Amino acid sequence: MAAPTIGIHDICFATTGYVLDLAELAGHRGVPVQKYQRGLGQDSMSVPAEDEDIVTLAAAAAAPILATHGHDEIRTVLVATETGVDQSKAAGLYLLSLLDLPSSIRVVELKQACYSGTAAIQFAAAMVAREPGSRVLVIATDIARYDLDTAAEATQGAAAVAMLISADPAMLQLSPISGVYARDISDFWRPNHRSTPVVAGKESIAAYHDAVAGAWRDFHARGGRKFGDFAAHCYHQPFTQMAVKAHRELTRLFAAGAESEAAVLAGTLYNRKIGNCYTASCYLGLVSLLDHSGDLSGCPVAVVSYGSGCVAEVLELYPVPGYRARLRTELHRRTMTERTTVSYAEYRHLWNIQPPTDGSDYLLPDQRSGPFRLAAISGNRRIYERRRNAGSTKKSA
C-alpha cells in the first residue's frame, strides 16, 4: 500500500491588538527611518496588550481552523514557543478549555529558539504517518521581546501560526526529504533569570548564514531538488532583510547567476508589518507567500527554518491544486488592519508593565477586542477567558 501524502491541511495566523509604526521608534531613537524600513526591512511591529500572551495568540490562530474542521480527528496538540508562560505546564493545555478540545488528546510544548515550529511539523508528520486517520494541531506562537534602547528593539513583534497536519492535506504536501543542521553556539539565548534574550546580533547573522547553508547541503546530499528549482523560498525572518540576505548568499553558493529575489519578497509582506515572531516567523512567511502570490499549485516551495543556538532545517512543500479556495486571506488582512496603532509613549508603557514576580494575585485590564484574553493571575494560576463575541470553535455545518 502506498504511503499517504502528509502535510498542512489548513493554516491561519493571529497577531496582537496593537501595532507601533517604526517611524515613531526611529524618531525617538534619533535613527533615520530608512535604517528600519530598508536596512532591516521592517515597517511596523505588533505590540502585545497587557492581557495578551502566547496562549491568547495561539487560541486566536487555531480557532478558525477548528471552526472549519472540528476537533474529532485531532489526537495531538504541539505548541512551539520560546516565550513559555510556565516552566512545567505546557501552554497547549490552556487551549483545552479555550477551544473546547477533547480530553482524549496528547499535549506537549516544544522549545529550540525560533526553530521548534519546524520540529513540531516533522513530529506531527511522523505521528500522522503512523495513524493516518489522525490529525495534529501545531501552533507556533511567540512574542519577540528585546531590551529597550538596543539595536534589536526595532525587531520585536508577535504572532501565532496554527497549522492542521493531516494525511491527504488540502493545502500543502510535505516532502519526506528535508535538510538539517545543528551546532552548539551562543548567538541568542535567554537564561532563566531574564525576561529578554541575550543577543550577539552580528554573530547571530553569521550563524544563521552558516546554518541554513549547512541545512541546504544536507538537503542536497539526501536527494532534495536543486536550490534553483524552487518556485519560492520562505525564510525565518528576525527582520525581513535577513531573508533577502540569506537568499542572496544561498543563490551565490547553490545557484550562481540565478537572480531571483522575487522568489522571496511575497513571503515577507506580513512579516515586515508584524515584526519577528520567533517560531511563527517562517510560517507567517509561508502564509504571506500563499496570500500574495498567484497559483502555486504543484510548484516546489522551500521553507527555511533557523533557531539560534543553533538548528536549521529546509522543508520542501507543494501547494495542492485547489488550495487557493481555502486561503484565509481576507481574515488575515483584517487581522493586520484591525490592530490599533499605539504611540511611542504607549508602547513604552506597555513594554514596562511586568506582572508581579512574587506570585501575588493580579487582575489584567480588558484592553482589546481579540477573541481570548488573560484575565488574571490568581493563586499562581493563569486565568484565561473567551470573550463573548468570540464565535464558536465547534465545526460549522
Check 114, 234, 277, 310 and give the catalytic one.
114
The residue among 208 and 219 lying less far from ligand COA, judged by its C-beta, is: 208
Whole-angstrom CA distances from 23 to 13, 35, 43, 158 are 25, 10, 8, 18
The residue among 30 and 294 lying less far from ligand COA, judged by its C-beta, is: 30
Is residue 284 within 8 Å of 13, Cβ to Cβ? Answer: yes
Question: How far is 394 from 397, CA to CA, in rounded Å?
Answer: 9
Cis status, amide bond into 12, omega within 30 of 0: no
Q: Cell 515584526 identifies what position?
A: 275
CB contact set of 380 (below 8 Å; sequence gap of 6+)? 359
Is residue 158 within 8 Å of 16, Cβ to Cβ? Answer: yes
Whole-angstrom CA distances from 142 to 61, 247, 257 are 12, 24, 37
The residue among 85 and 200 lying less far from ligand COA, judged by its C-beta, is: 200
- Give the shortest CB-238-to-ligand COA separation in angstroms: 3
114 catalytic residue (yes or no): yes
The residue among 205 and 331 lying less far from ligand COA, judged by its C-beta, is: 205
- Give the shortest CB-277-to-ligand COA separation in angstroms: 12
Q: Cell 493571575 identifies what position?
A: 377
- Strand pairing class (6-15; 157-167): antiparallel
3-state SS class at 54: helix
The residue among 26 and 125 lying less far from ligand COA, judged by its C-beta, is: 26
3-state SS class at 245: helix
Check 24, 82, 313, 316 and give the catalytic one.
82
- Give the shortest CB-275-to-ligand COA separation in angstroms: 10
The residue among 154 and 364 lying less far from ligand COA, judged by its C-beta, is: 154
The residue among 94 and 188 lying less far from ligand COA, judged by its C-beta, is: 188
Burial of 270 (0-12, 13-18, 19+ CB in 10 A): buried
Least Cα distance to 11 among 160, 139, 175, 162 occurs for 162
236 catalytic residue (yes or no): yes
- Give the shortest CB-33-to-ligand COA separation in angstroms: 8
3-state SS class at 109: strand
Check 236, 247, 277, 332 and give the catalytic one.
236
- Give the shortest CB-142-to-ligand COA separation in angstroms: 13
3-state SS class at 238: coil
- Give the shortest CB-154-to-ligand COA separation in angstroms: 6
- Catalog residues that contact ligand COA under the rule CB under 6 A: 32, 34-35, 38-40, 151-152, 155, 188, 199, 201-202, 204-205, 208, 238-239, 242, 308
Q: Which residue is nearest to ligand COA (CB)?
A: 39
- Give the shortest CB-304-to-ligand COA separation in angstroms: 12
User: ∠161-310-234 over CA atoms, to 5°?
Assistant: 40
- Strand pairing class (44-47; 18-21): antiparallel
Catalytic residues: 82, 114, 236
